[in-house]
């Protein structure tokens, strides 16, 4: 009896530390936290993009009616857009419309903004995905080798490549690449996603030109699209592999200095096993976050690349819309990019938990 009373007192004093909620309750808590985070992020993202769109000096009414319209026409359109209402009420109306899938109409294309986003975003997604894959496949081995060969010429080359990828402006590098490989050597095609005479042949079932052309057996268009993809993807991959290689090298150097690496070598394990099965396995958890951030940054930061190479993606769509004071398109495109950034980060967090079981609780 005394032992039971003592155990009860210990649990009471520790604040119920011994209480372990059932698995279904923990699952519900995680799901609730997930949807709460998503909802809060979505509201904050829509609020910021909407307010920025409203405070910008561009006049959406003037962009619609033109500068030759009478004052009566201007006032009628002003009332039709609801700009006479308080800003908070305007945001509430806009938020309700967005929840129903209505981002408004684009002045530039005269189509619903949502249709434009479905049309232009796959091109950006395809470009960023290829660039990220190239950055991972090249950058990760570079970083590992540089860490293992620290202080050698290989390490110095990797560090120079990383510095180059960070320092060189992407617009300058893109123009130089076009000048050399397209204008001078003629090895690769110029700007655009495919040649003009191939437009409209492949139906955009998925929006990804490589997948659609392969599924429909249009291999000539597939090869043409692939050749157009090489230069812009290489420009983005330069930044991606520079960042990934640099961070991989840093993470590996930290792991190779740990005591468990020395213990593994003393036990007689091969150097390959020590590096890839032990050190790199612990680095992988950190790399998931780095790769996710890189992918998200390419999705949102490919504006200059798409402009230089006339790539019909969402970056070029937002830029052209901004120049034409098409605020519905600008806000909608910015929101999609923000949602993708948040989504990629959350997906990285899920992978992080799968790779590292210690992060599940």
Q: Going from the N-terminus, what domains does the chain have, and what CATH number goes with each?
A: 22-99 (no CATH), 113-359 (1.10.3720.10)
What gap in Å lies between CA 239 and CA 166, rounded to an integer? 6
C-alpha 340: how far from its chain's center?
A: 6
| 208-233 b/e (C-beta count within 10 Å ≥ 16 → b) | bbbebbbeeebeebbebbbebbbbbb
Please count the other Cβ atoms lying within 10 Å of the Cβ belonging to residue 44.
12
- List the single range of 53-67, 127-141, 260-274 with lowest mean pLDDT: 53-67
Q: Which of 293, 313, 294, 295 is nearest to 303 (CA)?
A: 313
Mean pLDDT across the stretch 325-354?
Answer: 78
User: What pLDDT digit, counting tens, does each position of 203-216 carry?
Assistant: 888 888 888 888 88
Task: Give the 3-state secondary structure of residue 68.
Answer: coil
Are 329 and 106 within 8 A, CB to CB?
Answer: yes
What gap in Å lies between CA 342 and CA 49, rounded to an integer? 15
Q: Which residues pair with 112 in a beta bridge?
A: 105
Mean pLDDT across the stretch 291-305?
Answer: 80
- State yes or no: pLDDT of 3 exceeds 70: no
What gap in Å lies between CA 181 and CA 189, rounded to an integer? 8
User: What pLDDT digit, counting tens, does each position of 274-296 carry?
Assistant: 888 888 888 888 888 888 888 88
What gap in Å lies between CA 138 and CA 131, rounded to an integer? 11
What gap in Å lies between CA 136 and CA 215, rounded to an integer? 27
User: What pLDDT digit, counting tens, does each position of 118-165 carry?
Assistant: 888 888 889 999 999 999 999 999 999 998 888 889 889 888 888 888
Mean pLDDT across the stretch 330-344?
Answer: 80
Quote the pTM value: 0.79
Q: Which of 281, 324, 302 is nearest to 127 (CA)?
A: 302
């Amino acid at each position: 009896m005394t032992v039971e009373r003592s155990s009860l007192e210990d649990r009471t004093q520790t604040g119920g530390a011994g209480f372990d909620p059932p698995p279904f309750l923990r699952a519900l808590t995680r799901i609730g936290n997930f949807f709460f985070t998503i909802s809060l992020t979505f509201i904050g993202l829509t609020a910021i993009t909407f307010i920025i769109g409203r405070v910008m000096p561009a006049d959406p009414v003037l962009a619609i009616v033109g500068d030759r319209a009478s004052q009566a026409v201007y006032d009628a359109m002003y009332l039709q857009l609801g700009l006479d209402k308080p800003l908070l009420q305007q945001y509430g109306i806009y938020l309700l419309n967005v929840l129903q899938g209505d981002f408004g109409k684009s002045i530039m294309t005269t189509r619903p903004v949502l249709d434009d986003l479905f049309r232009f975003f796959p091109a950006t997604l395809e470009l960023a995905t290829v660039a990220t894959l190239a950055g991972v496949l090249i950058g990760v081995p570079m970083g590992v080798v540089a860490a293992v060969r620290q202080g050698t010429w290989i390490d110095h080359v990797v560090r120079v490549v990383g510095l180059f990828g960070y320092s060189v402006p992407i617009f300058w590098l893109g123009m130089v690449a076009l000048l050399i490989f397209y204008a001078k050597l003629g090895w690769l095609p110029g700007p655009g996603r495919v040649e003009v005479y191939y437009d409209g042949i492949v139906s955009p079932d998925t929006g990804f030109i490589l997948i659609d052309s392969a599924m429909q057996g249009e291999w000539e268009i597939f090869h043409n699209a692939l050749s157009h993809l090489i230069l812009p993807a290489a420009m983005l991959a330069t930044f991606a592999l520079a960042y990934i290689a640099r961070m991989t090298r840093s993470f590996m150097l930290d792991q190779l200095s740990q005591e468990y690496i020395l213990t593994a070598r003393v036990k007689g394990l091969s150097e390959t096993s020590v590096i890839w099965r032990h050190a790199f396995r612990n680095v992988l958890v950190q790399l998931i976050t780095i790769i996710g951030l890189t992918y998200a940054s390419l999705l949102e930061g490919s504006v200059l690349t798409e402009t230089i190479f006339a790539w019909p993606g969402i970056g070029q769509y937002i830029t052209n819309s901004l120049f034409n004071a098409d605020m519905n398109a600008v806000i909608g495109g910015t929101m999609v990019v923000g949602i993708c950034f948040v989504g990629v980060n959350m997906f990285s967090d899920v992978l992080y938990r799968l790779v590292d079981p210690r992060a599940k609780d």
